[in-house]
Chains A and B, each alone.
Chain A
Amino acid sequence: MKRLLLILTALMLSIWTASAQGNLQVGPIFDGKVVPPKVMKETFIKSAQLDPFNLEQYRSVSFTGDDKVLEEVSRRVLADAENATDQEIHMNEGKLVYAILTFEGANRNNRFICYQCVSKNGSNAITLVYMHGPATLDDLKRLFKTKK
């Protein structure tokens, strides 16, 4: 009995602690390990509100950082790009300014990483988004382009 309870507890803990971004290089950025949480804005949605978008989870962080921060974030995004099934990357003067990475999963469990950086006067405003759900990139583009 004790063994059964131990297994169930371990299983539940693993489910509880498992992070959707856990196996991605950008995961630590969302967890505030690259930029402190107090200097960034995080938006997290995992509710029925996402149903119209065919998404199950949305998480974004936005923050301002120096070139060192930009370099670290870019390195992680580009590392994830190597494993992406589809990618759209734009560089400007050697800096990563825009990226959309798609990770197609089984049963339409698709994951997306979107990155955008606007640099001005040595400061970099970075936005990083993680999403997952049955939606395709085309679905999302079609839905959100019209909303601008």
Chain B
Amino acid sequence: MKNKSYYLDLAERWFDALLTEDEERELKAFLAGTDDPDFDEVKAVAGFFATGKAVAAEKASVDAHRPPVSLRFRWAAAVAIAASLALVAAIGLYHRQNDCYILAYGEKSTDSQAALADMTATLAGLFGESEDVSDELFDLFNPAL
């Protein structure tokens, strides 16, 4: 009959990772059946590892049914990039075709012909002014002509 000190020694060597697989199984079997508070710490650590192993095993099982992670990532990245490009292109196209307005004193008009007429009149006024100033300066410095 193995006594308490034997299992305490096993536990101590288990923490030092010095047990054989058989000894480890023996210790776990003992831990499963004892209520001795001296082994609470060992049981807690063993329980933590057991939980970790169970989670890892479950994850491995789920991952086995999925495509490789890198492949999934590439697909998702490709979809994200394609969607983003499509969105940017759509926004660009929308703006290219539809951005045309006059916002006069708080009231907005999207009449593109009116906007174009306004632009033409404004630029004609500006560049006409440029010509006028040049002409005035020319006249000023060439009064005899």
**Which of A's residues lie within 8 Å of B, judged by CB?**
1, 4-5, 8, 12, 15-16, 37-49, 58, 60, 62, 88, 90, 98, 100, 114, 116, 127, 129, 140-141, 143-145, 147-148
The residue of chain A having its C-beta at the shortest distance from the C-beta of B124 within the complex is: A148
B80 contacts A by Cβ under 8 Å: yes
B81 contacts A by Cβ under 8 Å: yes
Residues of B within 8 A of A145 (CB): 124, 127-128, 131
Give the A-B contact count at a CB cut-off of 8 A: 109
Q: Which of B76, B96, B104, B119 contacts A41 (CB 8 A)?
A: B104
Indicate if the CB atoms of A47 and B100 lie closer than 8 Å: yes
Indicate if the CB atoms of A45 and B115 lie closer than 8 Å: yes
Indicate if the CB atoms of B127 and A144 lie closer than 8 Å: yes
Q: Which of B101, B102, B115, B129 contacts A116 (CB 8 A)?
A: B129
Given A1-B73, A147-B124, A148-B125, A46-B100 contact (CB < 8 Å): yes
Indicate if the CB atoms of A8 and B102 lie closer than 8 Å: no
A5 to B130, CA, bound (A): 50
B84 contacts A by Cβ under 8 Å: yes
Write the nearest CB–CB distance from B99 to chain A, whole angstroms: 4
B105 contacts A by Cβ under 8 Å: yes
Indicate if the CB atoms of A4 and B80 lie closer than 8 Å: yes
Residues of A within 8 A of B125 (CB): 116, 127, 148
